[in-house]
């Protein structure tokens, strides 16, 4: 009887041990499978993300124009510069006192570099304006009704005359206003002078009827007044 009880107890203990090992063994296997599944899922997600990035990159197109434009950033830019061509010039001999030379110099600097576009009209008085002491002009000899008087515009007529004779050489320039002196001047032959007087309403005007932009350069020194006309 005692042996039978011992055997039964032994069988129960063995069964419990077997159940214990079976239970925890299955949990371990399940945990490993779960981890394995999780790792597999993470790897799959990472692989999917990488593939998505590759797909996005492959689907992103960069046009050849964009690439070419980027490549051309450092290339030099070519700017077309129009060359000036001299088409006429004229000079007059210069004499006079320091006041006259001063006035002529101021007027030449004021006009120098003036451009006349096709269809535009050059006006001496509009560019020079009223000569005055505030502008640096000094009193010099001027002709008033065949008489010589002192005025701030003394010398301006020689500048206008020099420009006028240069303009006469250009085909396409139309003289719209030119006034002769009432007394012969020493720096130009008779009939080719061009008197100007802002207060007296005497002006030198000519229109650019060419299809080109014209530019006037005028300068003076102690010996001459020089005018040049160029085309652009």
Q: Measure the CA–CA gap between 202 and 161, rounded to whole angstroms.
A: 13
Q: What is the pLDDT of residue 33?
A: 47
Q: What is the pLDDT of residue 39?
A: 47
Low-confidence ranges of the chain (pLDDT < 70): 1-7, 14-15, 17, 19-76, 78-82
Q: What is the pLDDT of residue 9?
A: 73
Q: What is the pLDDT of residue 14?
A: 67
The structure's pTM equals: 0.66
Q: For residue 191, what are its two tokens?
A: 């009939």
Spell out the domain ranges in the chain.
2-71, 85-231
Q: What is the pLDDT of residue 145?
A: 74
């Amino acid at each position: 009887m005692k042996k039978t009880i011992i055997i039964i107890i032994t069988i129960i203990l063995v069964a419990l041990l077997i159940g214990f090992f079976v239970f925890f063994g299955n949990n371990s296997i399940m945990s490993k499978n779960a981890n394995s599944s999780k790792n597999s899922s993470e790897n799959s997600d990472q692989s999917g993300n990488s593939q998505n990035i590759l797909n996005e990159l492959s689907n992103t197109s960069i046009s050849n124009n964009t690439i070419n434009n980027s490549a051309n950033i450092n290339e030099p830019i070519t700017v077309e510069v129009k060359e000036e061509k001299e088409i006429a010039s004229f000079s007059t001999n210069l004499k006079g006192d320091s006041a006259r030379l001063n006035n002529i110099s101021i007027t030449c600097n004021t006009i120098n570099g003036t451009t006349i576009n096709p269809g535009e009209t050059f006006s001496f008085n509009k560019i020079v304006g009223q000569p005055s002491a505030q502008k640096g002009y000094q009193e010099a000899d001027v002709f008033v009704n065949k008489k010589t008087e002192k005025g701030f515009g003394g010398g301006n007529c020689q500048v206008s005359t020099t420009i006028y004779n240069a303009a006469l050489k250009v085909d396409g320039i139309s003289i719209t206003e030119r006034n002769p002196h009432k007394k012969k001047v020493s720096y130009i032959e008779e009939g080719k002078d061009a008197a100007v007087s802002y207060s007296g309403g005497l002006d030198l005007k000519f229109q650019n009827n060419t299809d080109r932009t014209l530019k006037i350069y005028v300068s003076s020194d102690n010996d001459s007044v020089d005018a040049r006309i160029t085309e652009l």
